[in-house]
Structure 1
Amino acid sequence: MYVCLCKAITDTRIRDAVIDGADSLADVRRDLGVASNCGCCAKCARQLIRQTRQEIASLDEACQVA
């Protein structure tokens, strides 16, 4: 799904950026250009970043338990 129409950035690219170490909207903006034009996508991008970080943390916890 496209999150940032201005820059044609998809949710997959944002998730990949977070997996690669982006930790905030500022990081994703720097790496991909998300929310650097009109800014309408900022809220959705933040949610996606937060969700992806939570998923990574859950996986990390599961791996430590196993």
Structure 2
Amino acid sequence: MYVCICNGVTESQIREAAANGVRNVAELTMRTGCGASCGSCLDTAVEVLQSVHGDEERQSLLPILGLSHAA
């Protein structure tokens, strides 16, 4: 399944990146391009990362978006 249509990133590519050490969306974007264009795929990308890494907090997976809640 395609998660990021804009950049052609699939769920299996996200799972592979996670297995190779990607821990959050910022790292995922740098490695795959997922979320670099419109960003509408970020929620699904986080779900896939969570399914690989277990019950980590959403804040740690979306570090940049977490800053918006600090203000």
Shorter chain as normaliser: what TM range?
0.7 to 0.9
2:53 equivalent to 1:53 = yes
1:13 alignment counterpart: 13
Structure 1: gaps spanning 5 or more residues:
55-66
Moved beyond 6 Å, runs of 4+: none
| RMSD of aligned alpha carbons | 0.5
TM-score by length of 2: 0.74
Number of aligned residues: 54
Larger radius of gyration: 1
> Where do residues 20-35 of structure 1 align in structure 2 (5 Å cutoff)?
20-35=20-35
User: Match of 1:27, SS?
Assistant: helix
TM-score by length of 1: 0.80
More helix by share: 1
Calculate percent identity across the aligned residue pairs.
30
